[in-house]
Chains A and B, each alone.
Chain A
Amino acid sequence: MSKKIEVEDKILSKNDKLANELRQLFLDKKVLVINFVSSPGSGKTSILENILPKLSKKYRLAVIEGDLETENDAERIRKAGIKAYQITTGGACHLEAFGIKNALPNFDLDNLDLLIIENVGNLVCPASFDLGEDFKIVVISTPEGDDKPAKYPSMIRASSAIIVNKIDLAEYMEFDVDKCIDYAKRINPNLVEFRTSCKTKTGLDDLIAFIETKIEEKHAGIRG
């Protein structure tokens, strides 16, 4: 004999619950939290190296680095003069909310305006795991091909902004930036777009201005 028990629960309910607790904490402390996601090699660490020193002139910032094995990215951020804490996931392809919670004692949230989470390089898995962030920014670089948004629709949908990076290489890579962004916007019409190059320093000021606006909104108590 057997019987059925209704469950009606989200599979990731524990992660979601913890993420919501973190979100409330970040709201109380008025800390803007941005979750950066991308494939490996998209250049998101380079973007952070470029924009964080400028943002740090006005705001107090810190970075949580998610990485499979190494401390290399955290070292790069520290060299740029920014406090960085590394979470090595030991092979896991994404960060989870409990990892963020465990990292928080390393930061003084009362004296912080912006916390950047640099997620593990992967465009599939981090889409499912809420970390309590205000929003996600997805980074795609021109060597990856302009059809990338079509291949990772869940991440495009989960993100609030898209950065197309390494646009200085677009021509050589036969990467159509307009086509890529158009397609991404068909999947998610609300995406804010940035076109950047860390080599030519293109588009970085726009990104900085966007983040500054979001920090100010967070201070004013407007939800991201």
Chain B
Amino acid sequence: MHEASIAQSLLDVVIETAHKNSVKSVLSVEVNIGRLAAVEKNSLLFAFDALKEGTVAEKASLIINDIPIVGKCNACGLEDEYDNFVFSCHNCGSYDVTIISGEELNIKEIEVEDE
């Protein structure tokens, strides 16, 4: 289960950001996870909750935004969403499709207590 490693890396960035900004408590953490990133959402939530104990983020909830897969066809130029993992252009059938989103494994923002 690599979600534990991902949750730990996420917490490391959150804690570092909190420290830099002299934050006392993190309330929420928002991440963008692409559907191609091979991350199981419930495992990530579970691991985050287990690992946040005793850190500046122990009260934080994790908000996961699902990012759909969007590809651009290099043959005809169509930009479209893909529900499955076969990237055949919905217009011309070409397999020469460049993925422009859906691989994200990114932190977006954190919400913190402000006094």
Contact = CB atoms under 8 A, between A and B. Distances in A.
B92 interface: no
A9 to B, nearest CB: 5
Nearest to B113: A2
Interface residues on B, range: 35 or more
For the residues of B in contact with A, the DSSP-based class is: mixed
A153 B39 CA distance: 12
Contact of A153 (B85, B106, B110): B85
A220 interface: no
Contacts of A93: 1-2
B12 interface: yes
Interface in A28-44: none
Nearest to B86: A186
Given A1-B115, A154-B38, A9 B13 contact: yes
Interface in A1-20: 1-15
B9 interface: yes
B9 A15 contact: yes
Given A13-B13, A127-B38, A2 B85 contact: no
Given A8-B107, A8-B108, A128 B21 contact: no
Interface residues of A, number: 36
B12 A14 contact: yes
B108 to A, nearest CB: 7
B2 A128 contact: yes
B114 A2 contact: yes
Contacts of B13: 7, 9, 11, 13
29 contacts: A1-B113, A3-B112, A5-B109, A7-B109, A7-B110, A8-B108, A8-B109, A9-B13, A9-B106, A10-B106, A11-B9, A11-B106, A12-B6, A92-B2, A93-B2, A124-B38, A125-B2, A125-B5, A128-B2, A128-B6, A128-B39, A128-B105, A150-B85, A154-B38, A155-B38, A185-B95, A186-B87, A186-B88, A187-B87
Interface of A: 1-15, 92-94, 96, 124-129, 150, 153-157, 183, 185-187, 189
